[in-house]
Structure 1
């Protein structure tokens, strides 16, 4: 590779040997390119992909029920007659969609606690196994109440996955790969949605109860595959060091990297960063997330995650099929459009990898939220009486596809990158958990309200729901501009320094952390 560093380099000015090793590792990471990092950290990349597969279950679960509510055999089983058709009541319609989100809020909160106590491997193993049982309840349900219970339980268990995956990826990836690997969490959601859309399209011609039961049963496949890998997954070295298991942490680092990485220096960097936080009076507990610099980091993590529901992802992803059919498209066309919408999201997420490596996180989120705001405005305008035409639904459908592409280029993957990078290492799991809980609550509220806006027996607003997300999106764009810092290319130690120095968010990118440290060393 040609990446060799001498311990006499001018960058190394600290007398303490651990600080020297830590600084050597920081310089090593800053000199790594994307392809170099993939090569020397190939084991870590592999395990990040495996962990991201757990999120596929989450994406599948959330997308599946949002589309099943439009399947005729499903509405006959769980709905009531309304004229010549069956309609699921707005209350149960909302309940089915927010069950997974409500469960996700519970799971996210528990995930932060269990991640710290049990570690990622055991936490994921318990939840993957439990998900199989929850899916059994869904499969054999015959009443709305039992189905809701199965959805709630499974939502709770799969709600662990984004939290654990984001924390694990943030802790095992080198700096240059954190953005790409962090966005894999969003890709997991998209792949889950894609599988759900494909299954529903494949079963649309069935006329029996298997039209909706077969997609439900397919949720058993991935957990079985994951249970083959989880027992041999390396633990997070950061978690092991926090637990005082330094020797095991060094062994985990060796399993997560090749011989090109000096694990002694990498371990010293972890110990140095955690020791720095501990010396600042920071302890591992929930309340500490609301103290000192951690409060600002918590607010950024929460708001970055809130960008997803506030810019309308529940509307143009979860309720897309329901919106299309209510607006006049056939169920077959709605499923086809949903499938293409999800495929577009898949490729947009992959396209986000080089884009974020080039531009960083902040510009993408500012531009992305601005475009989503404008898209929601146009969807609303097209549903006004003096604008609506026979072709408006097709234009709105294309705008839904466009919104999905923008979302999966920006707010979709970027929020998980922020969750990987911004929280303090010592309270990362708990910070991500709090952000996930609050976002789940927001998503539940929006999911409950949308059916009352869309349902033909309620307000029947149609595309005018877009105006609500236009206003919320404008506020999100303003927050991104004034409050979101740029974390691209920063190690956790450098981010600690930036927050401790209270550097304004808009100056993070240009602030010279190494220059400040060098100046302090010369003066003192």
Structure 2
């Protein structure tokens, strides 16, 4: 690890350390003075490049939504299913449905866990290039798979790339955007995911009446559409200035910072560069290396806990139930056509809610939005469960419609709070030298939780198994209650804090509930 330290400190001298510190304070003051609209005007290219990286998550959302629609396509079922006789016909067995459904989350776990090392060694752009290349190859494998074994392998391998995108996009956005835009652009990651699900729903509906092999090959081929646009934009995108500084390429980092911002008196590139240098030098002094082990040492342990837990809560507090919305509506007793209509409406609500989260983050902190979000979900979920216990439930369709409406409310609350804010928190909570590792650990933990939910939920909902119907709300409501308690005691407020300030506050062991009002100069004076 000695070489890493030499690279990271190249260009930092004792003679200039005081000047760097003074310029860093100037950058901090400028960051705090910028509003969202002003920041967009001053840093339009930072917004553009962060959006480019975020757009890769459209592919992740698309893949997660399209595979389940194939089980209703006669051509797909005949190609990859088994013939069970004249009464049943062709069907993809439950075993292989499970294998195909698990391919992407298992692949994402592996991709997220292994992404940080190449990102730190070769940079964000080169890893993105490699991911796009292999994604192209694995889509080809999916599209022309001759048997279900090959298709499952394609889903798994593509999932590895999708896990890499989930780490890359928020990491890059956090490193090129000013403080005022960090939350909004990272929340946009959730919007990209929702857009992917929208496109998947539209494509699935478009091929629903086809009976030839293109009924399932076209949806796979659609994934190629985004790759040339991403590759074309990536050719012009700059590398992360934080990564360049850690590699001792300070002049290149300065050039990148000039590309990200307009020429304005409100933009001081030298000060921003000094802030990056100051933060990096400080973390080199505090942290031994940039391995996963370092994420669990000293003050980094708290930061890693927050990143992992917000991602796990995001998966297990209700999003899994929302994913089964159409099936849930059907089990609740709604007519099939109404269930599908409600499912489409539920997805639209998620889109509107995610856009609303940008407004919420302009006025409220991350801790406030996330904590009140899981608390609101808790209330909605317990009411859903309570309605299912109402007398003569089966003969009173009004209860089913009430549960459906509450699931829409649940979707709005989740997609307006927990869903997008989760991306913001785990992208900014880690130390800058450990950001890719922290994001990778959070994403991998979320993938494990998703795998567990993928196995458990069908047994809860299926009529032939648990047949819990709306009582599933009690299960997720209980988890949401635990999440609310955890947020109150363990989730710090990071809104309006630079990465340097977060370093000082975690090292000073500031209690999570005091982060919002803590005066950062206190910790600097103590250290001095």
Compute the TM-score of the two structures, normalised by the length of structure 1. Answer: 0.91
Residue of structure 1 equivalent to 2:10? none
Across the aligned residues of Structure 1 and Structure 2, the Cα RMSD in angstroms comes to 2.3
Tell me, yes or no, if structure 1 residue 479 matches structure 2 residue 481.
no
Q: 1:104 to 1:460 in 2, by over 3 A?
A: same
CA distance in 1, matches of 2:253, 2:300: 25
Residue of structure 1 equivalent to 2:317? 311
Residue of structure 2 equivalent to 1:54? 56
Unaligned runs of 5+ in 1: 1-13
Residue of structure 1 equivalent to 2:364? 359
Alignment equivalent of 1:147, drawn from 148, 151, 169: 151
Residue of structure 2 equivalent to 1:66? 68
CA distance in 2, matches of 1:206, 1:326: 28
Q: 1:113 to 1:140 in 2, by over 3 A?
A: same
Alignment equivalent of 2:268, drawn from 262, 271, 289: 262
CA distance in 2, matches of 1:221, 1:393: 40
Q: Deviations over 1:386-411 (max 9, x none)?
A: 43433444333333322221111111
Shift of 1:243: 1.0
Tell me, yes or no, if structure 1 residue 504 matches structure 2 residue 511.
yes
Residue of structure 2 equivalent to 1:9? none
Residue of structure 1 equivalent to 2:222? 218
CA distance in 2, matches of 1:334, 1:86: 25
Instruction: Say whether the 8 Å CA contact 1:94–1:449 is kept in structure 2.
Output: no
Shift of 1:54: 0.5
Shift of 1:92: 2.6
Tell me, yes or no, if structure 1 residue 416 matches structure 2 residue 423.
yes
Shift of 1:363: 1.1
Q: 1:44 to 1:123 in 2, by over 3 A?
A: same
Tell me, yes or no, if structure 1 residue 468 matches structure 2 residue 442.
no
Alignment equivalent of 2:102, drawn from 61, 76, 98: 98
Q: 1:242 to 1:109 in 2, by over 3 A?
A: same
Unaligned runs of 5+ in 2: 1-15
Q: Deviations over 1:228-250 (max 9, x none)?
A: 11121100000011111111111
Residue of structure 2 equivalent to 1:8? none
Instruction: Say whether the 8 Å CA contact 1:105–1:441 is kept in structure 2.
Output: yes
CA distance in 1, matches of 2:240, 2:116: 14
- Bigger drift between 366-375 and 101-110 goes to 366-375
Q: 1:188 to 1:15 in 2, by over 3 A?
A: closer
Q: Deviations over 1:398-444 (max 9, x none)?
A: 33322221111111100110022110001000011011111101100
Residue of structure 2 equivalent to 1:249? 253
Q: 1:391 to 1:136 in 2, by over 3 A?
A: farther
Q: 1:409 to 1:326 in 2, by over 3 A?
A: same
CA distance in 2, matches of 1:341, 1:281: 45
CA distance in 2, matches of 1:488, 1:235: 25
Q: 1:382 to 1:214 in 2, by over 3 A?
A: farther
Tell me, yes or no, if structure 1 residue 433 matches structure 2 residue 444.
no
Residue of structure 2 equivalent to 1:11? none
Residue of structure 1 equivalent to 2:378? 373
CA distance in 2, matches of 1:65, 1:514: 53
Q: Deviations over 1:463-485 (max 9, x none)?
A: 33332212211111111111100
Shift of 1:333: 4.7
Residue of structure 2 equivalent to 1:271? 277
Tell me, yes or no, if structure 1 residue 134 matches structure 2 residue 138.
yes
CA distance in 2, matches of 1:468, 1:433: 28
Compute the TM-score of the two structures, normalised by the length of structure 2. Answer: 0.90
CA distance in 2, matches of 1:199, 1:328: 27
Instruction: Say whether the 8 Å CA contact 1:325–1:331 is kept in structure 2.
Output: yes
Instruction: Say whether the 8 Å CA contact 2:508–2:523 is kept in structure 1.
Output: no
Shift of 1:194: 1.1
CA distance in 2, matches of 1:248, 1:365: 37
CA distance in 2, matches of 1:391, 1:196: 31
Q: What is the count of residue pairs matched by the alignment?
A: 507
Shift of 1:176: 1.0
Shift of 1:322: 3.8
Alignment equivalent of 1:396, drawn from 374, 383, 403: 403
Shift of 1:259: 1.6
Shift of 1:330: 6.4
Residue of structure 2 equivalent to 1:29? 31
CA distance in 2, matches of 1:184, 1:73: 36
Instruction: Say whether the 8 Å CA contact 1:178–1:420 is kept in structure 2.
Output: no
Instruction: Say whether the 8 Å CA contact 1:301–1:432 is kept in structure 2.
Output: yes
CA distance in 2, matches of 1:395, 1:280: 54
| Greater than 6 Å deviation, 4+ residue runs | none
Residue of structure 2 equivalent to 1:10? none
- Bigger drift between 219-228 and 421-430 goes to 219-228
Q: 1:135 to 1:399 in 2, by over 3 A?
A: farther
